[in-house]
Structure 1
Amino acid sequence: MSIDLSLDRIRKLLSHLPRYTRPTVHIAGTNGKGSVSSLVSSILHATVPPLKVGRFNSPHLVSVHDSIAVNNEPISPATYTSAKELVEETDRKHDIGSSSFELLTSTALLIFEQERVDVVVLEVGMGGRLDATNVVPDECVIASALTAVDLDHQAFLGSTVAEIAKEKAAIARPGKPFVLGPQKYPEVQDVVKEVVATAGGQLIHASPASSRTWDNEFDGPGPAIISLSQETFAGPSPTPIQMSLPCFSEPLRAVLPLHGEHQLSNLGVALNIISALITCPCDETSVRPLQLKQRLTPSAISRGVRSVSWPGRLSFHRVRVPLTEDNRSARPLTILADGAHNPASSATLAAYVSSLIPAAPRTRPAASVREISLTYILALSHSPPKTPLQTLAPLLPPTVPQPEDSRPVKLKVQIAVLRFSPPDGMPWINSVPPSVLRETVSTLVPDAEVWCAPEDAQDPTQLLAALQWAAKQTEEADESLVVLAGSLYLVADFYRLIRAGRLGGATI
């Protein structure tokens, strides 16, 4: 199925549904927009009294209704089904022929209106100018934002970063703040400046939040030392941060539980959105009763940052993988799950994995070599012109710093390749055949042992088989880590195994 980007169908569909009136924060970007949306919604809901916050993200994680949340909790299947049936019936009655994403977006907007949420945090699906979410009226948008822009979806958005940035920045609205996050490519700044100025928006440049020294009095007990040991695993602690914002006279301090250096940039975008809501209040009558300036205090914002959760993005999980059908034999695994699906996010994941290894404790004499088992479980979407080699080259082979004052590290690398389950409501999404992935990873890491799933298998049981293989590979390792990545749809299969009870002792 092809994707026909247009706003005509969804505008017609929404004209026959209850009018959408919710104050909305609209977020676009190639990477990071989901993290920013989770941060903004968590902060807004942490106010006293709490704001009722709706959030729409795509793609969904485990089930399609997971993409629509109220107060950071997915809506119930019953709520989703009721709204979806009304939307689909309206679409059929008026012979509109809306796409799957247009129907989903309309369902989300209808639910937020029915729930009378105070604020909606709306993530763009793809692009911006012609994305279905851009149908929200100007008077409803209270702030827009653009996270990091990179090459992705070139077939629909343009062949250069500048062309893609122009499409994404087109969500800017007249008279409303537009927060631009840190960018890898300088040309993005110029393009966005021109687009926002043409739209009559107020451009705000967001810098990353800064990490700081852990403060036991403010942050709580000190962080644990990272350990990749099978027996004494300890994951990374939250990052203490501070940031100066126009809305406050003193720097804001908080503790960020989302992992990775890139999350400091995402937090910078989120905090500048919040600052804009405080310092640039809209005149619309729907916003004034929210008393955002009074509610969004430093303590509320700090609470919201500390309580944020965004599964499947550098998320650690401890599971016990069954090795027999009767579950009498199982082996513990430490899983790092991440939806990295393009070269930029793969590079981010690679840098994070490398940062973990030197931080592991030294439990043996300084002269000995640390042997670490590193297993990758990978599946990718077929998304030309992006190739599997382009996506995986930043990730493989892994690199490990070798400081002179630490024990040398020897990596044992093994890789499992497979398909993910076809996502509900997205028939245009296809996974790359395992044989193609096997050829790609063998080119990048010739010495790695590779496990390859059957060519046409597309269900979570293949992932369970890959996890069982990984468990056997790490049997003798003192230190080990399994990196599950390449697609958020593969991460979703992993969470389905957890929810179905197929993996023992799972923690999320």
Structure 2
Amino acid sequence: MMRFKRLDEWLLWLEQLHPVAVDLGLERVVQVAAQLPINTASSEVITVAGTNGKGSTLAALQALLSCPHKTLTRPSIGVYSSPHLKHFTERVQVNGQPVTEIILCQALDHVDKARLHCDLSLSYFEFTTLAALLIFSEQDLDYMLLEVGLGGRLDAVNIIDADISVITPIDLDHQAWLGNTRDAIAIEKAGILRFGQSSVIADLDPPDSLIQQIKALEVRAVWPVEYSDDGHGFVSADDGSLSWQGKGDGGPNVLGRLPIPQLAQPSWSAALQVASLLKALPSENICRQLLASVSLAGRLQRFSWANRVILLDVAHNPQSVQRLADYLKNESSLEKKNSKGWTAIFAALEDKNIPLMLEATASQIKKWYLPVLDNCSRSLPPNQIADYLTQLSANSPIKSNIDTEIGLSVKESLINAIHEGGEGDKIVVFGSFYTVGEALVVIES
């Protein structure tokens, strides 16, 4: 008999099953996987690790590989990603659609029975990763796109050997588990590399430890970004368009007259390079259409509501927040004298470097809403964030009072920001997936 019939019951139980939320290591998950019919042999497996840009890389890659090409007229693709914004089913998709709750419940039940057979406990992520791999194994997919949850070397996704690995930009995040330097974190990310296999490295400034691991494992690395001196990556043209060059079968692949993509250029460059290595790169015209149209929820996602601009971005560490800050500054500079600054709705997890995130964006923000997140016990209390802002103001050469509103919900903060502002006001929501997810529910409802 199935332990639970509803997905929400399964997920609530999984949150309480394992003694710790994060338990890195592969021994337990490998033992349980051995009891399950997980088989990836018929699929090309692409595993993506990195600090920032994993989700955008998967979205771009999914769009590219979904297009018909010489060897596949209707490619089938499974995508496993985390975390989700609104619904857990977002994490497990087949051919662009989330799998049903029934299918997920059945897969979770199979994992549960295998776990009991081994007399082992699994973490939430390990449990759900095995369920996703089981679902994909039953679909006879052409491609499996797998996103690492945390690190790489000891992440549950790493029980599968990737045909091509991708490492996106690396920065300081999750230091309690991965280390306090980019070099230490890069070693964990490099755990997804396999001896002699192909890997696409999309970090503009790869740590030395990553380069050393690539050499030690004789990895066939491709650098589709400006780091390399082989001409790979995007180049801006005089007319404002882009061209892209990557490694192809027997020579370079070149695409010209490309639009500025909605998703980050390193993510697109990595995705184009993977498709090129798989001999699945669509035509130049289709690539143009995809670069112009493919977007991802919560990544510089814009809405217009009551003649206000609302921008949602899941930036949640210093590197990604700095990119967001640059975007906010650029938007304000385009408006010149008419710019009134941004209203921010900000909540973040307690293990993040919140002072650096606030420092990066403070000059662009005229008012801060610091809400309480509904379903996240790991968020930093709003009053502590307000204290950081006060310290930031006190240390600034330009002394000014920080305008904050504390302790509302994300929904209340968003509604208040709209009502208190004027026509043309701009609101940015950022700090965590939880913050953006709650705002997205409000906007879409």
SS of 1:182's partner is coil
- 2:83 aligned with 1:59, yes or no? yes
TM-score between the two structures when normalised by the length of structure 2: 0.85
SS of 1:467's partner is helix
Tell me what 2:390 maps to. Answer: 442
SS of 2:119's partner is coil
Tell me what 1:17 maps to. Answer: 36
- 2:381 aligned with 1:433, yes or no? yes
Counterpart CA distance in 1 for 2:437 and 2:255 is 38
Structure 2: stretches of 5+ with no match in the other structure: 1-19, 226-232, 394-399
SS of 2:342's partner is strand
Query: How many Å apart are 1:438 and its aligned residue?
Result: 1.4
- 2:354 aligned with 1:354, yes or no? no
Query: How many Å apart are 1:174 and its aligned residue?
Result: 2.1
Q: In the alignment, which of 148, 158, 164 is matched to residue 143 of structure 1?
A: 164
SS of 1:170's partner is helix
The answer to whether the Cα contact below 8 Å between 1:27 and 1:122 also exists between their aligned partners in 2 is yes
C-alpha distance 306-108 of structure 1, shift in aligned 2 (>3 A): farther
Amino acid at match of 1:343: P
Q: In the alignment, which of 473, 492, 506 is matched to residue 420 of structure 2?
A: 473
Counterpart CA distance in 2 for 1:152 and 1:390 is 12
Residues 454-503 of structure 1 deviation map (CA, whole Å, 9 limit, x = unaligned): 5xxxxxxx11210122113313xx5321010011111111122234x2xx
The answer to whether the Cα contact below 8 Å between 1:417 and 1:453 also exists between their aligned partners in 2 is yes
Tell me what 2:309 maps to. Answer: 334
Greater alpha carbon shift after TM alignment, 149-158 vs 300-309: 300-309
Alignment of 1:115-154 (within 5 A): 115-136=139-160, 138=161, 141-154=162-175
- 2:430 aligned with 1:485, yes or no? yes
Amino acid at match of 2:437: A
SS of 1:69's partner is strand
- 2:374 aligned with 1:464, yes or no? no
- Kindly, what percent of the aligned residue pairs are identical? 28
Structure 1: stretches of 5+ with no match in the other structure: 215-238, 279-291, 320-330, 363-368, 399-411, 424-428, 455-461, 502-508
Counterpart CA distance in 2 for 1:175 and 1:116 is 26
Counterpart CA distance in 2 for 1:197 and 1:47 is 35
Query: How many Å apart are 1:122 and its aligned residue?
Result: 0.8
Alignment of 1:177-256 (within 5 A): 177-184=198-205, 188=207, 190-207=208-225, 208-212=233-237, 240-247=241-248, 248=252, 250-256=254-260
C-alpha distance 213-80 of structure 1, shift in aligned 2 (>3 A): farther
Counterpart CA distance in 2 for 1:12 and 1:301 is 42
Query: How many Å apart are 1:308 and its aligned residue?
Result: 2.0
Query: How many Å apart are 1:276 and its aligned residue?
Result: 2.1
- 2:406 aligned with 1:381, yes or no? no
Tell me what 1:345 maps to. Answer: 320
Counterpart CA distance in 2 for 1:249 and 1:490 is 40
Amino acid at match of 2:234: A
User: Per residue, is there more helix in 1 or in 2?
Assistant: 2
C-alpha distance 153-80 of structure 1, shift in aligned 2 (>3 A): same
Tell me what 1:284 maps to. Answer: none
Tell me what 2:130 maps to. Answer: 106
C-alpha distance 16-240 of structure 1, shift in aligned 2 (>3 A): farther
Tell me what 2:6 maps to. Answer: none
Query: How many Å apart are 1:167 and its aligned residue?
Result: 0.9
Counterpart CA distance in 2 for 1:94 and 1:23 is 29
Residues 404-434 of structure 1 deviation map (CA, whole Å, 9 limit, x = unaligned): xxxxxxxx711100122326xxxxx610101
C-alpha distance 256-77 of structure 1, shift in aligned 2 (>3 A): farther
Counterpart CA distance in 2 for 1:45 and 1:213 is 32
C-alpha distance 296-176 of structure 1, shift in aligned 2 (>3 A): farther
RMSD value, Cα: 2.2
